[in-house]
Chains A and B, each alone.
Chain A
Amino acid sequence: MAYTTENNQSGVMTKAIKEGIFAGVIALGMFLLFVGIETYQDINNQLVWRTRWGLLGVFVAVAAIGRFVTVGFIKPHLDSRKLAKAKTGVLEISDEKGFFRTHFLKIALIFLLCYPFLAMLIFGRQGSLKYVDNFGIQILIYVMLAWGLNIVVGLAGLLDLGYVAFYAVGAYSYALLSAHFGFSFWLLLPMAGILAALWGIILGFPVLRLRGDYLAIVTLAFGEIIRLVLINWTDVTRGTFGISGIEKATFFGIWSFDVGAANNFNKAWGLPSSSVYYKMFLFYIILALCMLTAYVTIRLRRMPIGRAWEALREDEIACRSLGINTVTTKLTAFATGAMFGGFAGSFFAARQGFVSPESFVFLESAVILAIVVLGGMGSLTGIAIAAVVMVGGTELLREMEFLKHVFGPDFTPELYRMLLFGLAMVIVMLFKPRGFVGTREPTAFLKERKAVSGSFTKEGHG
């Protein structure tokens, strides 16, 4: 299919117009009842319906024009580019990377370190609150959770659908121990991690003889059990009311961020009273926790245990024939992943000041798993990018006021969050079936470090 001659050009246009009209008709058929007609209850509580032809028109036009542009312009352009490349005989793969790609990690880290100050410079003290808290901290929590789950799913190949359980264990450990014993954040952070790891082992023992789908179902059930216990054990957890008034994190015990406290951080440094400084402090804590997770993951991958995890993902039977105790190997993967979930949970509790079972529903597990899969299993960079896209993207939807001009004043983009989330996933998976970063970095090499193509790595069978 070469689109080089003039004759073909008009042929393409008629084809594009035809396909555009066809797409429009299909969209009309599909959306006529879904979008074109709306039912609602009027003042008399009667169910009546009204039409929304304008919105329907927008949907149909998007489909028709989109198809027309794709067939008429984008596809011929791509084809001619491919053809030109094939003629020159230059392979698409090139080893040279730009400055940005080779130094991506350093640039990203420097940007993250400056981020709260940048936000404050640009948006002012109160304006930056949203960017530090809703975007910065929120995304980094998910980065940490996804990196933790990556150890279990991405490295060891154990499909865990109940990861949020360990997040909950961490959060409630902090909330309860701080309320009853008055322990500080810095003592409870490691304790929450250890408790979550313990739960990981307790869960792991009966479950790890299962494989694949069966393991996924049982971990899913475990996540739900933890949540239901939190709801129903009202004496301890106060059920659905949750635990509020959780103590804030302190500046290593030197300064407090409580407004009434004598050693208030803002007063001590002569800063105006604003919660933004606490948020900035939290931002750096979660950033440090993320770095710890990444450091441990990178180090562990080069240790025998990390290699055993990856070998387990590739072939469990071969592992056993090489004298690797698969049970303890799986348990350490579960416990390590759970520990980072516990860290993130206790941080979450300190940040919110309030925990309730609402925060630990299955959807959270699904989102974290989606981030891991989308980022490319096993790849820290890919997962971080996926977390930014997924969590940042859904947060960004709240800001999309201009969409109201397109879809009418009734359109609330937040409500379409999950729809767009799913759509984005489908699109990414179509073009990047192995996630953003599908290749795997080898942990040792003799002559040169060559990335392993995603087509060789396996996903694991539990």
Chain B
Amino acid sequence: MATGTTMTKDAILKVEHLSMKFGGLMAINDFSFEAKRGEITALIGPNGAGKTTVFNCITGFYKPTMGMITLSRENGNEFLLERLRDFEINKVAGVSRTFQNIRLFSGLTVLENLLVAQHNVLMKASGFTVLGLLGLPAYKTAAKEAIDKARYWLELADLIDRADDPAGDLSYGAQRRLEIARAMCTGPELLCLDEPAAGLNPKESLTLNTLLRTIRDGGTSLLLIEHDMSVVMEISDHVVVLEYGQKISDGTPDHVKNDPKVIAAYLGVEDDEVEAIEEKLDEGTV
């Protein structure tokens, strides 16, 4: 389970020896992986494997028990995410995320959702509210730019016709796309998506794939948790498989697809293989 040391140069996110303990439960146990810049990295695994916990550690909602999460920005700055405060992970390190159970501002309109995402830029432009209250032109141009940026993402996410409707009024698939658009409006370098295709019909899944590819081609790296294999195998450049808090496979989609350990984790194994698997598990937990 050694991490590829040769790839450190272009890794945007480096997770090393991450462990997370909830009381007596070891949710993540010595988990290491890398996500490369400009790629789509998928984190997969059976239910309860700890994928969302890894996400919450990366995006600052949990403080990991052990381990180091390094994010290197394009300008060369490096941040240890586990040491940043929760909101700084987005503001300073440029990591944004979506949620497994959609978290939109349902009482705000679609457009307002995207404007809230540009809070920090607008805050600076409005001189921390003071200059904006006086009606200075600097804020007005910034506000206009913010709306243009929102309009760009609304068009990409195919939501432009619903811009003035409350976010809570959108259909499920549209809400998923809006959440991604909102996360992108913060101008992130790494976008973390927690099951973006959950609850989507096949057609919506396809549009999602296109949207995610567009985001990647725009220079943003992606890290996603996904159950829908049609999405994972289709768009990922790199797949990491997690089971019981440990990494069992790491590589290209094709490599992972044919890895016997992955097949065992997902489909179960034949009787003579059980012992071998159990041995491996013991090594990991004891």
B219 located at the interface, meaning its Cβ lies under 8 Å from any Cβ of chain A in the complex? no
0/1 per residue, B121-137, Cβ < 8 Å to A? 01100100100110000
Whether the pair A314, B107 counts as a contact (CB closer than 8 A) is: yes
Q: A322-B116, A323-B186 are in contact. Are A305 and B123 (CB under 8 A)?
A: yes
In the bound complex, how far is the Cα of B166 from the Cα of A457, in angstroms? 9
CB distance from A319 to the nearest CB of B (A): 8
Whether the pair A322, B119 counts as a contact (CB closer than 8 A) is: yes
Q: A322-B116, A323-B120, A443-B112 are in contact. Are A452 and B103 (CB under 8 A)?
A: no
Whether the pair B164, A318 counts as a contact (CB closer than 8 A) is: no
* Chain A residues whose C-beta falls within 8 Å of the C-beta of B122 in the assembled complex: 303-304
Q: A318-B103, A456-B168 are in contact. Are A307 and B112 (CB under 8 A)?
A: yes
A446 located at the interface, meaning its Cβ lies under 8 Å from any Cβ of chain B in the complex? yes
* Chain B residues whose C-beta falls within 8 Å of the C-beta of A448 in the assembled complex: 164
Q: A304-B126, A314-B106, A315-B103 are in contact. Are A444 and B166 (CB under 8 A)?
A: no
A133 located at the interface, meaning its Cβ lies under 8 Å from any Cβ of chain B in the complex? no
Segment among B86-94, B206-214, B237-245 that sits at the interface with chain A: B86-94
CB distance from A454 to the nearest CB of B (A): 8
CB distance from B138 to the nearest CB of A (A): 13
* Chain A residues whose C-beta falls within 8 Å of the C-beta of B168 in the assembled complex: 455-456
Interface size for B (C-beta < 8 A) is: 48
B235 located at the interface, meaning its Cβ lies under 8 Å from any Cβ of chain A in the complex? no
A15 located at the interface, meaning its Cβ lies under 8 Å from any Cβ of chain B in the complex? no
In the bound complex, how far is the Cα of B126 from the Cα of A317, in angstroms? 24
* Chain A residues whose C-beta falls within 8 Å of the C-beta of B97 in the assembled complex: 321
Whether the pair B107, A446 counts as a contact (CB closer than 8 A) is: no
Whether the pair B164, A449 counts as a contact (CB closer than 8 A) is: yes
Q: Which of B59, B104, B112, B183 is within 8 Å of A442, CB to CB?
A: B112
B181 located at the interface, meaning its Cβ lies under 8 Å from any Cβ of chain A in the complex? no
Q: A303-B132, A321-B59, A445-B164 are in contact. Are A440 and B107 (CB under 8 A)?
A: yes
CB distance from B136 to the nearest CB of A (A): 12
Q: A310-B107, A321-B97 are in contact. Are A442 and B87 (CB under 8 A)?
A: no
In the bound complex, how far is the Cα of B167 from the Cα of A310, in angstroms? 13
Q: A303-B132, A445-B109, A458-B106 are in contact. Are A320 and B147 (CB under 8 A)?
A: no
Interface centre among A300, A303, A443 (most CB of B within 10 A): A303
A-facing residues in B67-110 (Cβ within 8 Å): 86-91, 96-97, 99, 103-109
In the bound complex, how far is the Cα of B99 from the Cα of A324, in angstroms? 16
Q: Which of B90, B133, B183 is within 8 Å of A303, CB to CB?
A: B133
* Chain A residues whose C-beta falls within 8 Å of the C-beta of B63 in the assembled complex: none
0/1 per residue, A416-458, Cβ < 8 Å to B? 0000000000000000000000001011111111101101111
Q: Which of A311, A322, A453 is within 8 Å of B108, CB to CB?
A: A311
Interface class of chain B by DSSP: helix
B115 located at the interface, meaning its Cβ lies under 8 Å from any Cβ of chain A in the complex? yes
In the bound complex, how far is the Cα of B61 from the Cα of A323, in angstroms? 12
**A-side interface size class:** 35 or more
* Chain B residues whose C-beta falls within 8 Å of the C-beta of A450 in the assembled complex: 109, 164-165
A232 located at the interface, meaning its Cβ lies under 8 Å from any Cβ of chain B in the complex? no
Q: Which of A308, A318, A332, A453 is within 8 Å of B166, CB to CB?
A: A453
* Chain B residues whose C-beta falls within 8 Å of the C-beta of A326 in the assembled complex: 87
Q: A314-B108, A322-B117, A445-B109 are in contact. Are A303 and B87 (CB under 8 A)?
A: no
A296 located at the interface, meaning its Cβ lies under 8 Å from any Cβ of chain B in the complex? yes
Whether the pair B119, A442 counts as a contact (CB closer than 8 A) is: no
* Chain A residues whose C-beta falls within 8 Å of the C-beta of B151 in the assembled complex: 446
Whether the pair B105, A444 counts as a contact (CB closer than 8 A) is: no
A325 located at the interface, meaning its Cβ lies under 8 Å from any Cβ of chain B in the complex? yes
Whether the pair B119, A323 counts as a contact (CB closer than 8 A) is: yes
* Chain B residues whose C-beta falls within 8 Å of the C-beta of A444 in the assembled complex: 109, 111-112, 115, 143, 147
Q: A299-B133, A449-B164 are in contact. Are A323 and B87 (CB under 8 A)?
A: yes
In the bound complex, how far is the Cα of B96 from the Cα of A236, in angstroms? 53
In the bound complex, how far is the Cα of B156 from the Cα of A388, in angstroms? 48
Whether the pair A452, B108 counts as a contact (CB closer than 8 A) is: yes
Whether the pair B164, A304 counts as a contact (CB closer than 8 A) is: no
Q: Which of A313, A317, A332, A455 is within 8 Å of B103, CB to CB?
A: A317
In the bound complex, how far is the Cα of B92 from the Cα of A325, in angstroms? 12
6 sample A-B contacts, Cβ–Cβ < 8 Å, listed by A number: A296-B133, A318-B104, A321-B90, A325-B87, A449-B164, A457-B106
Binding site for A on B (CB under 8 A): 59-61, 86-91, 96-97, 99, 103-109, 111-112, 115-120, 122-123, 126, 129, 132-133, 139, 143, 147, 151, 160, 163-169, 182-183, 186
Binding site for B on A (CB under 8 A): 296, 299-300, 303-305, 307-308, 310-311, 313-315, 317-326, 332, 440, 442-450, 452-453, 455-458
Beyond known contacts A446-B164, A452-B108: 19 more, CB 8 A cutoff: A296-B133, A300-B133, A303-B129, A304-B123, A304-B126, A310-B116, A311-B116, A320-B60, A322-B119, A323-B87, A324-B119, A443-B112, A444-B115, A444-B147, A445-B111, A448-B164, A450-B164, A452-B166, A458-B106
- The 8 closest A-B CB pairs, nearest first, are A457-B107, A323-B90, A323-B91, A314-B105, A456-B168, A304-B122, A318-B103, A446-B163
